[in-house]
């Protein structure tokens, strides 16, 4: 997901509480300020970051607050894109597995489909690339969003 024009930025480690979302967003926005992203770009990026982080907190860690989540980002300049990654030790779950097969996801979550499926659709429709892997007991979810993607659609 990285290319030779990668400008590695920083990382932040936060506790697994919903109130930490603001720290992550401010951390990312601070790194974007030199690139002047559009409001639409920032809005879609925020939706994806919020969906991923809140799912880690509520489902991966089951709202146990003493766990931590590492978030990092990388700015690539040719073409201009941001790659954002989340690393956690919560329950292992690969959301990418279900992005192209919602029927499989429905089978897994059963009757909770109506209140649980929108996040996967939202993420899929608002990023350009996404990758999931594990490293031992750690979830690693990384997505890329190009700045010049002129798609104004949103889920």
| pLDDT at 102 > cutoff 70 | no
- Would you list the domain boundaries of the chain? 6-146
- Residue 1 or residue 30, greater confidence: 30
What contacts 112, CB < 8 A, 6 or more positions away?
A: none
The model's confidence at residue 152, banded by pLDDT at 50, 70 and 90, is: very low
Asked if 64 and 16 count as a contact pair (C-beta separation under 8 A), the reply is yes
| pLDDT at 20 > cutoff 70 | yes
Report how far apart, in Å, the C-alpha atoms of 138 and of each of 57, 61, 90, 130, 151 are: 14, 12, 7, 17, 33
CA dist 23 and 17 (Å) reads 11
The model's confidence at residue 97, banded by pLDDT at 50, 70 and 90, is: confident
pLDDT of residue 155: 40
The model's confidence at residue 113, banded by pLDDT at 50, 70 and 90, is: very low
| pLDDT at 115 > cutoff 80 | no
Q: Which CATH code for domain 6-146?
A: 3.30.565.10
């Amino acid at each position: 997901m990285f290319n030779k024009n990668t400008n590695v930025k920083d990382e932040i480690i936060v506790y697994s509480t919903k109130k930490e979302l603001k720290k992550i967003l401010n951390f990312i926005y601070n790194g974007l300020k030199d690139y002047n992203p559009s409001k639409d770009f920032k809005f879609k990026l925020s939706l994806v970051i919020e969906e991923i982080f809140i799912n880690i907190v509520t489902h991966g860690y089951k709202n146990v607050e003493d766990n931590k989540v590492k978030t990092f980002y990388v700015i690539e300049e040719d073409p201009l894109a941001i790659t954002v990654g989340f690393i956690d030790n919560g329950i292992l779950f690969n959301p990418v597995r279900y992005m192209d097969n919602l029927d499989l996801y429905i089978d897994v979550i059963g009757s909770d489909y109506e209140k649980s499926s929108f996040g996967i659709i939202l993420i899929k429709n608002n990023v350009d690339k996404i990758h999931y892997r594990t490293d031992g007991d750690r979830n690693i979810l990384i997505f890329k969003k190009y700045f010049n993607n002129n798609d104004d659609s949103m889920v």
